[in-house]
Structure 1
Amino acid sequence: MDQVRWGIIGCGDVTEVKSGPALQKVEGSELVAVMRRNGELAEDYAKRHGVAKWYADADALIHDPDVNAIYVATPPAFHHEYALLAARAGKPVYVEKPMARNHQECLEMIAACEEAQVPLFVAYYRRGLPRFVEIKRLLDSGVIGDVRFVQTTYLQQLKDKQGEELPWRIQPELSGGGLFVDLASHTLDILDYLLGPIGDVKGFARNQSKRYQVEDIVTTTYAFESGVMGTGIWGFNTFTYKDSNEIVGSLGKITFSTFGDDLRIERIDGQIEEQKIPNPPHIQQPLITKVVEELRGIGQSPSTGVTAARTNRVMDELLKDYYAKPSL
């Protein structure tokens, strides 16, 4: 297509700065319609962002002839439904992360888009950010030699306040799990991008705080198909904040956070290099650029339904025993 004309389903917080403006700024792309179930909020968003049309009905937006690509920015519970509707309408789909609540939903989304012969992309936007592109370049160049293992630690304090309504991110019927699903998915996907698909996965999920239904700590060991090994711990009920990934090789180590801007390289000869590579103002813009280029036939997106589904498979493996308990 010459011009990608987007319609957003679910124009909430994530679209205000991270993604929505990028749909209007990327060459060959424009945002022509938005939808929220609350029509007044959809109208407000449209007026503030200079969008011509707004809807309170997703089906109406999907079948708008001026819209030729759909961005699904709802909670994960609705990704499957809207992706299938868009595919049946013959329109490419860009879905927020995580791709769906579980791996089975992902597979059905992939199948529907393949049958309709429309592309399916997922907003794992770190695959387009300059810092992670640079990390991949360093790894591919052999700066730390052969990669041996990766170790992830992500910790944060308990966020919820007792007595308040729980946010959708810790309502498993909407999100697929807890904050692990929302946040760890970014890390697991970027490791897939940097080191290839994860194969065997083993781990444990528990709720230690007893403050809500979902898991608040997850530990894992896993093996990449390449032979690289990995370990990780994600804790959402600790005294402090930590966000660290270490990729260790035969000749050095690369350390970086998932959500910051830091990059540290240590070499076997004792040399240490530290960089700060900031994110762009609209953090999804580099990936959206790649998506638009693929839709226009001049490039390729690094994040697709196939790549994103792999992360859902890993998370399913780590959470399956926890959610199989009768009390949950």
Structure 2
Amino acid sequence: MTNIRWGILGCGDVTEVKSGPGFQKAEGSQLVAVMRRNGELARDYAARHGVPRWYDDAAALIADPDVDAVYIATPPNAHQQLALLCAAAGKPCYVEKPMALNHTESLVMVQAFAHRQVPLFVAYYRRAMPRFLQIRERVLDGSIGAVRYVNLQLHQPQAAEELDPASPPWRVNPEISGGGRFVDMGSHQLDFLDYLFGPIIDVNGHAICHSGAHAAEDTVSASFRFANGVLGSGAWCFAAGDSLDRCEIIGDKGRIVFSTFDDQPFSLITAAGEEHIEIPTPAHVQQPLIQSMVNALLGRGECPSTGVSAARTDAVIDRILGR
């Protein structure tokens, strides 16, 4: 096999720029089919993106003999069901994050793919983005010495569309998304810390919805400890008066400060001074991780974001939210 032929289940907004074109542009990769429940929208996506086939039925796409691997880009409440269909069909699967509604569902998925010996990947794509790889390299090469502590802060004003309790967006409906914007965005941050320092083995958290506008959390705090002894804390507020996106990694010889969701340079601060390091963000942010999956499936390398690593992040989120 020289190419991996992909099908997408759920070709919504995330697939327009962030992910979909990456399947067409990665070396050894082709996007051959897409699916939405609304067939006209699936047809439109296929026409605009030059995809040969479209479906309005997930099982039909999974059964397509010309589809080698499947990308699940639906809301999280459908992830487990669709992933299990892929596992049963023996087809490698790439699942949007968060991996599932909770850690219990994630474990079922991991076990199903392990039983069939089929690869399972998850869209924590910062594990492959050049900017975040450079941050990781600076941590691992001792640029800031031995890491002692890490702190996350993410604050944003409440989105206007979240203020209508009669029709909240699906991202703040826990039955569909698994939580609120903490689950949607904080999962990226916690997963990247797992990639930097290894598993979180102890975590405590508090979560509340101060606004009362929906059923999901809008303010969260947590403290945690990694297996290697590094301590950490985080604070997330999505009903704030302004915005802040900051992660600070503190070592005994310096610190690294960076944002997770914008393209600002990251800062390396040591006794030698302060260095601001700018690394461009790929046009299609998931393409580097897609390339790593294709390489793994073709026997050319490994993918850093798997069902096993993503399930750890789901476990941490469950502990923070007290579920």
Aligned runs of 1:98-117 on 2, under 5 Å?
A: 98-117=98-117
Runs of 4+ in 1 over 2 A off after TM superposition: 160-165
**In 2, Cα distance between equivalents of 1:2 and 1:86:** 21
Q: Once the 2 structures are TM-superposed, how far is the Cα of residue 292 of structure 1 from its aligned partner? A: 0.4
Aligned length: 320
Q: Once the 2 structures are TM-superposed, how far is the Cα of residue 193 of structure 1 from its aligned partner? A: 0.7
Match of 2:247 among 233, 245, 248: 245
Match of 1:263 among 251, 257, 266: 266
Superimposed CA distance per residue, residues 284-314 of structure 1 (whole angstroms, 9 cap, x where no aligned partner): 0000000000000001000000011111000
Q: Does structure 1 residue 211 correspond to structure 2 residue 224?
A: no
**In 1, Cα distance between equivalents of 2:160 and 2:74:** 21
Equivalent residue number for residue 295 of structure 2: 293
Aligned runs of 1:80-91 on 2, under 5 Å?
A: 80-91=80-91
**In 1, Cα distance between equivalents of 2:278 and 2:173:** 35
Equivalent residue number for residue 24 of structure 2: 24
Q: Does structure 1 residue 139 correspond to structure 2 residue 139?
A: yes
Aligned runs of 1:37-186 on 2, under 5 Å?
A: 37-161=37-161, 162-163=163-164, 165-186=167-188
Q: Once the 2 structures are TM-superposed, how far is the Cα of residue 165 of structure 1 from its aligned partner? A: 2.4
Equivalent residue number for residue 302 of structure 1: 304
Q: Once the 2 structures are TM-superposed, how far is the Cα of residue 3 of structure 1 from its aligned partner? A: 1.2
Q: TM-score w.r.t. structure 1 length?
A: 0.96
**In 2, Cα distance between equivalents of 1:79 and 1:234:** 25
Q: Secondary structure at the match of 2:322?
A: helix
Superimposed CA distance per residue, residues 16-71 of structure 1 (whole angstroms, 9 cap, x where no aligned partner): 00111010011110000000000000000000000110000000000000001000
Say whether the 8 Å CA contact 2:18–2:284 is kept in structure 1: yes
Say whether the 8 Å CA contact 2:206–2:322 is kept in structure 1: no
Equivalent residue number for residue 229 of structure 2: 227
Say whether the 8 Å CA contact 2:205–2:322 is kept in structure 1: no
| Matching residue's letter, 1:297 | G
Structure 2: segments with no counterpart, 5+ residues: none
- The two structures, once aligned, show a CA RMSD in angstroms of 0.9
Q: Secondary structure at the match of 1:223?
A: strand
Match of 2:314 among 304, 308, 312: 312
Q: Once the 2 structures are TM-superposed, how far is the Cα of residue 251 of structure 1 from its aligned partner? A: 0.3
**In 2, Cα distance between equivalents of 1:175 and 1:259:** 19
**In 1, Cα distance between equivalents of 2:87 and 2:37:** 21
Say whether the 8 Å CA contact 1:160–1:166 is kept in structure 2: no
Say whether the 8 Å CA contact 2:156–2:241 is kept in structure 1: yes
**In 1, Cα distance between equivalents of 2:206 and 2:138:** 32
| Seq. identity, % | 55
Q: Once the 2 structures are TM-superposed, how far is the Cα of residue 270 of structure 1 from its aligned partner? A: 4.5
Structure 1: segments with no counterpart, 5+ residues: 322-328
Q: Secondary structure at the match of 1:99?
A: coil
**In 2, Cα distance between equivalents of 1:290 and 1:299:** 7
Superimposed CA distance per residue, residues 68-107 of structure 1 (whole angstroms, 9 cap, x where no aligned partner): 1000000000110011000100100000011111001110
